[in-house]
Amino acid sequence: MTTTPTTIVRFSRRARVEHVAVMSLFAVLALTGFPQKFFPAPWAQVMVDAMGGIDRARWLHRAAGLLFAALLAVHLGGAAWPTLKRRACLSLVPEGKDFRDAAAMLRYQLGTEASPPVFDRFDYRQKFEYWGLVLGGAVMVATGFLLLFPLLATTFVSGQLVPAAKVAHSNEGLMAFLVVVTWHVFHAHLSPEAFPGDTSIFTGRVARDRVRHEHALEYARLLEGRDPEPVPEAAWLALVLAPLRGALLVMYLPGLGFVVVGRHLARRAAAALSKLRRRRPAEPAEEAEPGEPPASAA
């Protein structure tokens, strides 16, 4: 991949094509899935009628789901094979540094840390989004196939999993939609660093100054001409541990936010209460009755 004096190639053609495919399929799945989830609502019935009826909506949803399952399989295979051949590194797999960076960034944003952490090619927020998509997509694919072939599935698993899969499929889809329209849209379009929009996933290129600012470790490595560090363990073990590390990061960030922000608010409240107590005027001493000796004379 080539670079220019002002830009750096960040995403390959394959990554850009996969992103466009995910965007398109996600939109179709949302537009055809939510009217089924909220069918009693008037707006849902209007959307179903616009698609040609509930049968057409279900057909479109299932077709998009099968394409998404194929895309997920192609993506995971394309990531695993070069890793097994030692031709690629797992740059999106969370490491210990990502967990420390998340806590350090929260402290920096709350004003208790002097400077933000420095990041490599992908920071902990990007890895959170990626593994949320991969693991959430795996749940959607598994539950989707269970709902698509319930009779076949119940010859191997308990029939109780069918209604459970329906609840999981529906709620996971809603959660994925909310994460995309809040977390992803903000970081990709509304944050000060990206506003009015980050187009690098479509062009494949990003400004050199932005890489130096947002991914200082990667920028330093590019200047020195060094390759990314290989995974320390065996390739097959790294692939097995990758989803476990991803799941840990996905579960870690929300809990970390509650803990760090909660402790910060508790310290601020305690400091404000202490300041209020210091500012409170001292109560006047009781005056002695006439003819009565002062207390100090006792």
Q: Which residues of 223-247 are buried (b: 16+ CB within 10 A; e: fewer)?
A: eeeeeeeebeeebeebbeebeebbe
Q: Is 88 left (phi over 0), alpha (psi -120 to 50) or beta?
A: beta
pLDDT tens readout for residues 133-163: 999 999 999 999 999 999 999 999 899 999 9
| pLDDT tens, residue by residue, 20-30 | 999 999 999 99
What band does 204 get if pLDDT is binned at 50, 70 and 90? Answer: very high
Domain boundaries, the chain: 7-271
The better pLDDT of the pair 141, 226 is held by: 141
**How far apart (Å, rounded) are the C-alpha atoms in residues 29 and 44?**
14
For 254, residues 6+ apart whose C-beta sits below 8 A from its C-beta are: none
Q: How far apart are CA 68 and CA 88, in angstroms?
A: 24
pTM over 0.75: yes
Q: How far apart are CA 22 and CA 38, in angstroms?
A: 23
Give the residue-averaged pLDDT of 48-64: 96
Give the CATH fold of the 7-271 domain.
Fumarate Reductase Cytochrome B subunit (1.20.950)
At 198 the pLDDT is 86
pLDDT for the residue 227:
78
pLDDT at 187: 84
86 in Cβ contact with 230 (< 8 Å):
yes
Mean pLDDT of the residues in the chain: 89
| 260-285: average pLDDT | 83
